[in-house]
Amino acid sequence: GATAVPTFHSLGLYWTPAGGAASKQVLVKYRKKGDCSWSDGLSMEYNPISGNADYRGSVVNLTPNTEYEIELTLEGTSITSILTIKTWTENPPKGTTTTIPSQSITFDITSAMSGTANAYRVFDGQGATIDVANNADNAIAIDADYVIVRNIKLKGAIRFGIRIFGGHDIIIEDCDISNWGRINGSDLGFGENYNGAIWGGATDIERVTIQRCKMHHPRTDANNWAEPWKSS
């Protein structure tokens, strides 16, 4: 069957129907659950990629926190797939709030500090500052689910202002991140690969929202598009 991946205002669609071919499109229809009439979406072209779906597309301009029915039909056939999916809410339910204090060591948010789908755990700095002064890889480390990190200034991390080690349904908002990253020793001030203001390298991380954050003044320089360089 087909799969759909929602965000706030859109759905990504993936399908590999039997009989798919370059001569056949997949026709897309959608509607809010409970509505009588369907709207047409942009048809999906055949474009198989190994390990991915033969047909990929999207539906946009949707309403957040709303269930939609999607009907996919392989052109010229009776082969269909129908699925129901809900878009993300812009106002997740909030539970316990923990204040993040100003400090000079990494603030760790572990799996034991996770919230739930019905009560996100909020970590609010209320304008506090974590400055690890180049003594720790991360200013904040996250390995938890259903958490909101907000309103905190992060400085001086060796590699990452915020490092996400794992988890899902993570929201990072209204944070100010600066003075991070290692300089590549073989280049004139250029940064090392895989350093960043916010970084998540794990393959099981899902549904991360980063909004209204200011990420500025890293410790390193960067090459422009006309200035190639070879990483050591």
| pLDDT tens digits in sequence order for the chain, 232 residues long | 899 999 999 999 999 999 999 999 999 999 999 999 999 999 999 999 988 999 999 999 999 999 999 999 999 999 999 999 999 999 999 999 999 999 999 999 999 999 999 999 999 999 999 999 999 999 999 999 999 999 999 999 999 999 999 999 999 999 999 999 998 766 567 888 889 999 998 889 999 999 999 999 999 877 777 876 665 5
Residue 210 phi/psi, 5-degree rounding, is -120, 120
pLDDT value at residue 232: 53
Output the six-digit token pair for 162: 């915020």
Residue whose structure tokens are 């399908």: 15
Where would I find the beta strands (DSSP E) of the chain? 3-6, 11-15, 26-32, 39-40, 55-59, 67-74, 80-86, 94-99, 107-109, 120-131, 138-143, 147-155, 160-166, 168-173, 176-178, 196-200, 206-211, 214-216
pLDDT recorded at residue 110 = 97
Q: What's the half-sphere exposure (Cβ side, CA atoms, 13 Å) at 79?
A: 15
Determine the straight-line distance between the first and last CA of the chain, rounded to whole angstroms: 45
Contact of 122 with 150, CB cutoff 8 Å: yes
| Residues 6 or more apart whose Cβ sits within 8 Å of residue 39 | 29, 30, 31
pTM metric for this prediction: 0.87
Beta carbons within 8 Å of 134's beta carbon, 6+ residues apart: 156, 157, 158
d(CA 205, CA 203): 6
| CA–CA–CA angle 160, 171, 150 (5° rounding) | 75
Cβ atoms of 66 and 87 within 8 Å: the answer is yes
